[in-house]
A and B are shown apart, each in its own frame.
Chain A
Amino acid sequence: MIDTLAILAIFSGLFFFLSGSIGLLRLPDLFSRLHALAKADNVGLALVALGVIMLEPAVINDIKIVIIWILVMAASAISSHLVARHALRENREDD
């Protein structure tokens, strides 16, 4: 039963990952691509992490997975902010 829920979570996470990657490839502008990256991929990772937590018996590892998820979220948010600001500054200098 738990296995089925976990597989469901992982595959829905995969759906978000795939859409994030397709968005990265097909969206027109850097800033919209950063949206796809930071948002879709992180939701995907959250769902995959949820599925893996359901499959992993040891509690200490579950805690590690939650920490990983929080860290990746923070890192993604900060990374996309930094990259976007850098791109803005570069474009301004070119004018």
Chain B
Amino acid sequence: MIELLWSIFDITLVLLLLALAWNTCSTRDVMRAVTLFIAMGLLLAIVWARLKAPDLALAEAVIGAGISGALLLSAIRDYPSTPMVSQRSTLIEGIINILTLALTILMSWAVWHGLNMSDGVRLSGQVISQLPVSGVSNPVTAVLLNFRAYDTLLELAVVLTAVLTVLTLNEKRADYVVSGRLLQGMTHWLVPLLVVTSGYLLWVGAHAPGGAFQAGAMLAAAMILLRLAYPSKQQEFNNVLLRVLLVIGIFTFVLVGLWMMSLNDDFLAFTPAWAGTLILIIETAATVSIAAALTLAYRGGRPKDWEDANRTSRSIAENGGQDDQ
């Protein structure tokens, strides 16, 4: 009976996910697609919880449902009252359909193959056995920030690259916002609560699900909330502070790695006695960086001094062209 009920739950979840994904991609109304996408993010968080992966559930809830939701909803903010219809060419649609079908078949084969494989060496056993040396007691954090620290460093670099790309794309559209007393009153207690929860997630990541990415995303959510509730108080970023915040995560990471290389002959090989403290330092810096990156990605548009520099060089180019004629 219990097995049957679990199976009903699991199968319904899977079918719902598939239905949401299908409808998100196939619908012509952009607002419906965005809403279904955010709903799918929320459902994925529940799926991760069902699969006993609370770290993933946390990350999905914060980033997938929270930050991505805010980003998408702001991106379609100029929707007209009639539904927007997106235009696609049939040829491109056909190509994408074929590629997606091929990918689905490939991944289904991979999952089938993996399920039917004989028991090989399971890495989780090795992780558990090496856990006392890693400096933390949460196996996910141990893998992310000790055993596979290099991968996390590269992830931070990817985030930075993405944000830099977003920042160079276009001028920032002016926001027209009307914010009432209720919203501003709410931020008085919600933003501190978000900041405290972010610190809690950062700290608890050592021995329970949590960690730098979740904490950074929560901090970014707090900043986004502030920005939306107090539009008249938007100050242009102090650009030195901006640059420092963006890179401090990677900087600290590489610095610690090089220091460990001088001590232990290997990049990012932590001395077991200091591993816990080092991981905490790296995670704190990474939290700040991720928060700054996500907030800037949400804001979009070029920072002020890049804009001025661009305007100057563009006007020089135009004047130079006219002089030639």
Contact = CB atoms under 8 A, between A and B. Distances in A.
Direct contact of A and B (CB under 8 A): yes
Interface of A: 71, 74, 78, 81-82, 85, 89-90, 94
A82 B183 CA distance: 8
B186 A74 contact: yes
Interface of B: 81, 178, 180, 182-183, 186, 193
Contact of A81 (B81, B178, B182, B193): B182
A78 B183 contact: yes
Contacts of A94: 81
9 contacts: A71-B193, A74-B186, A78-B182, A78-B186, A81-B182, A82-B183, A89-B178, A90-B81, A94-B81
Contacts of A89: 178
A37 to B, nearest CB: 14
Contacts of A85: 180
Contacts of B186: 74, 78
A78 B178 CA distance: 15
Q: What is the predominant secondary structure among interface residues of chain B facing chain A?
A: helix
Contacts of A81: 182
Contacts of B182: 78, 81-82
Contacts of B193: 71
Contacts of A74: 186
Given A74-B186, A81-B182, A90-B81, 5 more contacts: A71-B193, A78-B182, A82-B182, A85-B180, A94-B81
6 closest A-B pairs by CB: A78-B186, A94-B81, A81-B182, A78-B182, A82-B183, A90-B81
A56 B186 CA distance: 30
A94 B79 CA distance: 13
A71 B186 CA distance: 11
A78 B186 CA distance: 8
A25 to B, nearest CB: 15
A85 B183 CA distance: 12
Nearest to A82: B183
Contacts of B178: 89
A70 to B, nearest CB: 11
A85 B180 CA distance: 10
A10 B193 CA distance: 28
B9 to A, nearest CB: 14
Nearest to B180: A85
A90 B180 CA distance: 16
A71 B81 CA distance: 32
Contacts of B183: 78, 82
A71 B196 CA distance: 14
A85 to B, nearest CB: 7
Contacts of A78: 182-183, 186
